[in-house]
Amino acid sequence: MRQQFLFSPTLRDVPQGADIPSHQLMLRAGLIRQTASGIYSYLPLGKRVLNHVEKIIREEMNKSGAQEILMPAVQPSELWEESGRLDDYGPELMRLNDRNDREFVLGPTHEEVITSLVRDELNSYKKLPVNLYQIQTKYRDERRPRFGVLRSREFIMKDAYSFNPDTESLAQSYDAMYEAYSNIFRRCGLDFRAVKADAGAIGGKGGTHEFMVLSDVGEDTIAYSDASDYAANLEIADLPDTFSESAVPDEEITSVHTPAARSMDEVSTYLSVMHDQLIKSILFIVDDEPVLFICRGDHELNDVKIGNALDAGTTRLAEEEEIRNLFGTEPGFIGPVGIPENVKVMADYAVKGISSGVCGANETDTHLLHVHPKRDVHIDQYGDFRFVKEGDPAPDGGGTIQFAKGIEVGHVFKLGTKYSEALGAYYLDENGSSRPLLMGCYGIGVSRTLAAVIEQHHDEDGLIWPRSVAPFDLHLLVLNSKQEDQAELGESLYDNLRQQGYDVLFDDRNERAGVKFKDADLVGLPVRITCGKKADEGIVEVKTRETGEMEEVHADRLVDYLNALFR
Ligand code: ATP
Ligand code: MG
C-alpha cells in the first residue's frame, strides 16, 4: 500500500476526552474515528488489525472443531420474552420497532437466537455435541461508554455456543474453548491470565473463567496467589477457613454509650479498639427472610458470595424500615446479640477469631463490649462471605493473595439448561427420554482485544505492533523522493518484498524525513526500512520498532535478513 493514498488521518496532539493510551493512539494513528458516543468507525489501519485478530480467532475456533455461522443483529423481542430476559437485561438492551410496530432488540448477545435456531434440529443425542460460533456486531447501551473501543455501545464480539448431551461432554467443550482462547490471546501477543469468575446475570451454574489482560487501565481486579497459579476475579476470590475459635474473655458483655458513633471508623476511634475486634452487622433479605451477616470491622461483606452461598432467588439489602421493625433501632447500631429468633445469623470465618469484640447493641448510641462469638451470639453458619484483601492467604494453601488490574477480553461459561429449558430445546437420549440440551457460551471482545493489545504494546512515540496483528509487516520509507537513487531503490524493494509475501506500507510521500520518521513510530509497524543517503550503494537502514535496534543492510541481503528476523 502506498502511504500517499492511505486513508489514515493522523493527529499530532492527544485528542480531548481520550484518557488511556489505547484510545489516544487509536485516534492519533488514524485507526478509528468516533461517530457517536461509544460508536466508532474503523479506518483502514484499524480494520486491518481487526481482520488479523479475527483471522487468528477463526483459525483457533475452527481447529477446536467449532463451526462458523452468522446470526442476525436484529432479534424479535418475543424470543427475549420467552427466555425471561426482556425485562431482566435492563436498559443496556437497545430496542426498536418495525413499521408494523413489532418489537425488536439489537442483540447484546445471542443465547436466545441460537437456542431457537437449534431447538428443532439438535433433537437426538446422535447429533451432539455441536459448537457454533460467529463474529458479529453487538449492541449494549452501556451506562458509561468510555475508553474508546474498550467499552463501547456497538462492538465486535466472537460468540460461541456449545450444545452438549451431558456434563462430561460440556466439560470437554469448555476445556476446548479454554485452550482455544489461551492460544488466541497468546498469538495476539497478550500477557493474560484466565481467572475464575462469577456467573452473573447470564445465569447458570458451574464453571466460568474470564480471560484478563494485565493492565493498569483494567476495570477488573484480579486476586492471584504469589506462589501458585490461583487467580480469580476479586468479586468471587475465595478465602480458606484459617481461623480457630478464640478464647472466651474473662469479662462479661457490657454496654457502653457511644453517641453518634455509627461507622466502623467512628466506633474504633471512640472506643480505641482496633478494626479487627469490631463486628460489622448487615441485614439482608434473602427470598423474603431476614438474614444478618456479620464480619470483622476491617473486612467488607461480598454480596456476590452472599448470593451464591444461599442459593437464593433474590438477595437484597434490608430497608431502614425493615431494620427498625426487626431490631427496634437504626442501622448504625444493630448487632447480632439477643436478636429475634427468626433472624438467621451468618458469620464470616474471620469472626471466629474475635475474642473480645465490639458490636452494635440494637439500641441507639450504644455498643456492646467483650462480645465473644461462641458465648454470646447464636451463629447459624460460618462461611466465606467477605472480599479478599491483599495479604490474605490463598485458598489453595499456596502463598498470599496479591491484586492486579485486568481488562476482560474473553469469557467462558457453563450455562447449563437455563436457555434450553426456557426456549424448549430438548433432545432424545440413548434411552429415548427427552432431556434439555446442556449449553456453554464463550465470548471474546474482538474490538476490545485490539485496544488491549495496544495497552500492552506502545511507548511514548506510538504503537508497537506484534507481527501477528500488525496492519502491515514492514514500513518502507524513501527519505527524499526527489533523489532518484532513493526513489528507485524504494520502488524495487516495494515490489520485491511484496513478492516475498510481506505486507508493505510504502511511504513515498513528499514529506520531510522528520515527519516520516515520526509517523512511522506512531503507526508502529514491526520493522522500518529506510532508503536514505546510502541508497546509491544499495544500502538501507533496518530498524526494529520494539527494540529500537538499527542495522545497515545491503538490499541484496534484505530478504534473508528479514526472514531471519521474523522467524
Ligand atoms: P464487562 O464486565 O466488561 O461489561 P461482560 O461481562 O458484560 O463484560 P460478556 O457478556 O461476557 O461481557 O461479553 C463477552 C465479551 O465481550 C467480554 O469478555 C468483553 O471482552 C466483550 N465486551 C463486553 N462488553 C463490551 C463493551 N461494552 N465494549 C467492548 N467489548 C465488550
Ligand atoms: Mg457488561
Q: What is the pLDDT of residues 476-499, one digit of tens each?
A: 999 999 999 999 999 999 999 999
Atom of ligand 1 nearest to the CA of 159: 14
101 vs 85, 89, 230, CA distance in Å?
20, 21, 51
Question: What CA–CA distance (Å, rounded) separates 55 from 475?
Answer: 22
CB 330 within 8 A of CB 323: yes
Distance 185 CA to ligand 2 centre (A): 20
Question: What CA–CA distance (Å, rounded) separates 198 from 437?
Answer: 22
Distance 135 CA to ligand 1 centre (A): 14
pLDDT at 202 over 70: no
Residue 164 host element (H or E): strand 154-164
Distance 439 CA to ligand 2 centre (A): 20
Give Cα 60 to chain centroid, integer Å: 20
Distance 505 CA to ligand 2 centre (A): 37
Q: Pick the ligand that lies closest to the CA of residue 158.
A: 1
Residue minimizing CA distance to atom 16 of ligand 1: 445
Atom of ligand 1 nearest to the CA of 142: 27
Q: Best substitution site from 411, 444, 447 to test ligand 1's pocket, by max atoms within 8 Å of Cβ?
A: 411
Q: Pick the ligand that lies closest to the CA of residue 220.
A: 1
- 230: which residues sit within 8 A by CB, 6+ positions away? 224, 394, 395, 396, 398, 399
| pLDDT tens sequence across 129-187 | 999 999 999 999 999 999 999 999 999 999 999 999 999 999 999 999 999 999 999 99
Provide DSSP, 291-360: EEEEEETTS-B-HHHHHHHHT-S-EEEPPHHHHHHHHSS-GGG--STT--TTSEEEEEGGGGG-SSEEEE
500 confidence band (pLDDT: 50, 70, 90): very high
CB 274 within 8 A of CB 236: no
3-state class (DSSP) for residue 100: coil
Best CA proximity match to 221, nearest among 404, 436, 482, 423? 404
Residue minimizing CA distance to atom 22 of ligand 1: 445
pLDDT at 556 over 60: yes
User: Which residue carries 459448537 as its cell?
Assistant: 131
CB 58 within 8 A of CB 134: no
Q: Pick the ligand that lies closest to the CA of residue 202.
A: 1
Residue minimizing CA distance to atom 4 of ligand 1: 151
- Provide the 8-state DSSP code for 434: E
CB 136 within 8 A of CB 73: yes
Which residues are 101's β-sheet partners? none
Q: Pick the ligand that lies closest to the CA of residue 185.
A: 1
Distance 410 CA to ligand 1 centre (A): 8
Question: What CA–CA distance (Å, rounded) separates 352 from 279?
Answer: 11
User: What average pLDDT score do residues 43-54 get?
Assistant: 98
Which residues are 368's β-sheet partners? 255, 359
Residue 235 host element (H or E): none
Pocket of ligand 1 (CB under 6 A): 109, 140, 142, 151-152, 155, 157, 408-411, 443, 445, 447-448
Residue minimizing CA distance to atom 23 of ligand 1: 445
Distance 307 CA to ligand 2 centre (A): 19
pLDDT at 80 over 70: yes
pLDDT of residue 517: 97
3-state class (DSSP) for residue 35: strand
Residue minimizing CA distance to atom 11 of ligand 1: 411
Question: What CA–CA distance (Å, rounded) separates 388 from 142?
Answer: 28
Atom of ligand 1 nearest to the CA of 443: 14
User: What average pLDDT score do residues 334-353 get?
Assistant: 95
Residue minimizing CA distance to atom 25 of ligand 1: 151
Distance 141 CA to ligand 2 centre (A): 10
Residue minimizing CA distance to atom 18 of ligand 1: 410
| pLDDT tens sequence across 359-394 | 999 999 999 999 999 999 999 999 999 999 999 999
Phi and psi at 228, nearest 5°, equal -140, -175
User: What average pLDDT score do residues 35-46 get?
Assistant: 97
Distance 137 CA to ligand 2 centre (A): 15
Q: Pick the ligand that lies closest to the CA of residue 135.
A: 1
What would you report as the CA-atom Rg of the chain, rounded to the nearest whole angstrom? 30
- Provide the 8-state DSSP code for 208: E
* Burial (0-12, 13-18, 19+ Cβ within 10 Å), 389: middle
248 confidence band (pLDDT: 50, 70, 90): very high
- Provide the 8-state DSSP code for 2: B
Distance 201 CA to ligand 2 centre (A): 10
Residue minimizing CA distance to atom 31 of ligand 1: 445
Distance 226 CA to ligand 2 centre (A): 29
Atom of ligand 1 nearest to the CA of 109: 10
200 confidence band (pLDDT: 50, 70, 90): low
Residue minimizing CA distance to atom 24 of ligand 1: 151
Distance 140 CA to ligand 2 centre (A): 8
Atom of ligand 1 nearest to the CA of 153: 27
User: What average pLDDT score do residues 343-348 get?
Assistant: 96
pLDDT of residue 312: 73
Distance 142 CA to ligand 2 centre (A): 7
CB 185 within 8 A of CB 409: yes
229 vs 219, 277, 389, 451, 468, CA distance in Å?
21, 32, 17, 26, 27
3-state class (DSSP) for residue 508: coil
| pLDDT tens sequence across 2-21 | 999 999 999 988 888 999 99
User: What average pLDDT score do residues 500-516 get?
Assistant: 96
Q: Pick the ligand that lies closest to the CA of residue 149.
A: 1
Distance 550 CA to ligand 1 centre (A): 40
Quote the cell numbers at residue 261: 458513633
Residue minimizing CA distance to atom 29 of ligand 1: 151
Structure-model confidence comparison of residues 397 and 469, the more confident one:
469
Quote the cell numbers at residue 373: 462469638
Give Cα 232 to chain centroid, integer Å: 12
User: What average pLDDT score do residues 64-92 get?
Assistant: 96
Domains of the chain and any CATH numbers? 3-238+403-454 (3.30.930.10), 254-383 (3.90.960.10), 474-566 (3.40.50.800)
- Give me the chain's average pLDDT, please: 95
Q: Pick the ligand that lies closest to the CA of residue 145.
A: 1
With a pLDDT cut of 90, the percent of the chain lying above it is 90
CB 107 within 8 A of CB 113: yes
Quote the cell numbers at residue 41: 468507525
Question: What CA–CA distance (Å, rounded) separates 149 from 51?
Answer: 15
- Give the number of residues written for the chain: 567
Cα angle for residues 152, 184, 53 (degrees, 5° grid)? 50
Give just the sign of the alpha carbon dihedral 350, 351, 356, 358: positive
pLDDT at 201 over 70: no
Q: Pick the ligand that lies closest to the CA of residue 107.
A: 1
- 227: which residues sit within 8 A by CB, 6+ positions away? 394, 398, 399, 400
Helices (H), 222-273: 264-271
Best CA proximity match to 350, nearest among 290, 406, 276? 276
Residue minimizing CA distance to atom 13 of ligand 1: 443
pLDDT at 287 over 80: yes
Distance 145 CA to ligand 1 centre (A): 12
